[in-house]
Amino acid sequence: LARLHGGATGHWGNATRRAEQELSPAALARFAALTGPLDDLERRYAAAVAWTLDLAAGLGLALDDRLAQELRRGRLDA
Of 33, 32, 40, 70, the C-alpha closest to 53 is 70
Residue-wise pLDDT tens digits, 2-49: 777 887 777 665 566 677 778 888 988 888 888 777 667 777 888 888
H-helix segments, the chain = 2-6, 19-22, 25-34, 41-58, 65-73
Q: Are 3 and 17 in contact (CB under 8 A)?
A: no
Given a cut of 60, whether residue 76 has pLDDT beyond it is no
